[in-house]
């Protein structure tokens, strides 16, 4: 029986495959991708590349055939679409005989969260529980990688902007979250019906983040607390879809209420080390 990773050509999925190849024989690893041609590099390594699409129940059921454990990486779309897609993936996995689903969720999933995507993850968690399959929920905090998007502008202007106030957020590098997922996938029986809160080792403010960028680059950079409407205008101006703009704006609203400042040691328990700090992540990203 094999372990399958969905969305394996995406940013998180690519890293999960990389870490899983360090832990399982390639003959035990399969991936499901919407465009198999984009996974030719994985096929060349001996990974079993399958065609799958969360919008196609029959196709996903075929992709899950012969799979014992599957990682469902959350899709990217508006709430209604993603909820339907995730339910299709769960239905397909159950129909195909998958025994254990690992799902990339979010810290503290709630229907009433200001971060609007949170409701998607709660629905998917509940749907997986209702399926009767074994599960592991990886409640990921926010990617430290996303902080790099504002660096170029900060270097030009000296201001690192976000509508964050003095909110603290437990950012964690995407690569660390991928490694945690690989640890679970390599020994799923040790994580049956478990839920892990995967956060950074420290909750940081955007003032601290600006100081990390300044230290890494040698530039004079300070945090600029943007009004929400200015931030939304910037996001709209670069062409982000409305549902993503709403979610990103809500993230900071929730963060200022303390929604994402609680640190968990679940990552260290799983992986055996602390996650890379935001300061080290930024320094490595900007100096290498």
Domains of the chain, CATH where assigned: 2-141+173-199+264-271 (3.40.50.720)
The pLDDT, as a whole number, for residue 231 is 94
Range of lowest pLDDT (82-86, 209-213, 230-234): 230-234
Q: Mean of the per-residue pLDDT values for the chain?
A: 97
The answer on pLDDT for 1 being more than 90 is: no
What is the average per-residue pLDDT within 162-188? 98
The answer on pLDDT for 5 being more than 90 is: yes
The answer on pLDDT for 264 being more than 90 is: yes
The pLDDT, as a whole number, for residue 151 is 96
The pLDDT, as a whole number, for residue 236 is 93
The pLDDT, as a whole number, for residue 76 is 87
| Token pair 């328990």: residue | 269
Q: What is the pLDDT of residues 95-143, one digit of tens each?
A: 999 999 999 999 999 999 999 999 999 999 999 999 999 999 999 999 9
What pTM did the predictor assign? 0.96
The pLDDT, as a whole number, for residue 31 is 98
The pLDDT, as a whole number, for residue 50 is 98
The pLDDT, as a whole number, for residue 101 is 99
Range of lowest pLDDT (53-67, 85-99, 109-123, 228-242): 228-242
> Band of the pLDDT at 58, cuts 50, 70, 90?
very high
What is the average per-residue pLDDT within 156-174? 97
What is the average per-residue pLDDT within 231-247? 93
What's the 3-state SS for the chain? Answer: CEEEEECCCCHHHHHHHHHHHCCCCHHHEEEEECCHHHHHHHHHHCCEEEECCCCCHHHHHHHCCCEEEEEECCCCCCHHHHHHHHHHHHHHHHHHCCCEEEEEEECCCCCCCCCCCHHHHHHHHHHHHHHCCEEEEEEECCEHHHHHHHHHHHHHHCEEEECCCCCCECCECHHHHHHHHHHHHHCHHHHCCEEEEECCCCCECHHHHHHHHHHHHCCCCEEEECCHHHHHHHHHHCCCCHHHHHHHHHHHHHHHCCCCCCCCCHHHHHHCCCCCCHHHHHHHHHHC
């Amino acid at each position: 029986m094999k372990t399958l990773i969905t969305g394996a050509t995406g940013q998180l999925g690519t890293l999960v495959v990389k870490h899983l190849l360090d832990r399982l024989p390639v003959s035990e690893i399969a991936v499901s991708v919407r465009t198999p041609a984009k996974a030719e590099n994985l096929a060349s390594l001996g990974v079993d590349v399958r065609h799958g699409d969360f919008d196609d129940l029959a196709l996903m059921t075929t992709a899950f055939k012969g799979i014992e454990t599957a990682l469902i990486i959350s899709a990217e779309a508006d709430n209604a679409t993603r909820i339907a897609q995730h339910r299709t993936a769960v239905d397909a996995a159950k129909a195909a005989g998958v025994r254990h689903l690992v799902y990339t969720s979010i810290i503290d999933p709630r229907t009433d969260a200001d971060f609007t995507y949170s409701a998607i993850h709660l629905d998917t968690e509940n749907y997986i529980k209702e399926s009767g399959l074994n599960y592991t929920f990886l409640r990921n905090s926010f990617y430290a990688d996303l902080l790099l998007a504002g660096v170029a502008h900060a270097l030009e202007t000296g201001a690192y902007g976000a509508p964050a106030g003095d909110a603290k957020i437990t950012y964690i590098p995407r690569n660390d979250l991928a490694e945690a997922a690989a640890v679970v996938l390599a020994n799923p029986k040790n994580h049956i019906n478990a839920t892990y809160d995967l956060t950074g080792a420290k909750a940081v403010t955007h003032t601290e983040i600006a100081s990390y960028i300044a230290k890494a680059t040698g530039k004079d950079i300070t945090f600029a607390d943007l009004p929400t409407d200015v931030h939304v205008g910037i996001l709209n101006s670069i062409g982000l879809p409305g549902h993503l703009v709403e979610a990103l704006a809500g993230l900071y609203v929730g963060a200022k209420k303390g929604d994402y400042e609680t640190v968990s040691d679940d990552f260290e328990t799983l992986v055996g080390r602390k996650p890379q700090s935001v300061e080290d992540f930024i320094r490595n990203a900007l100096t290498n």
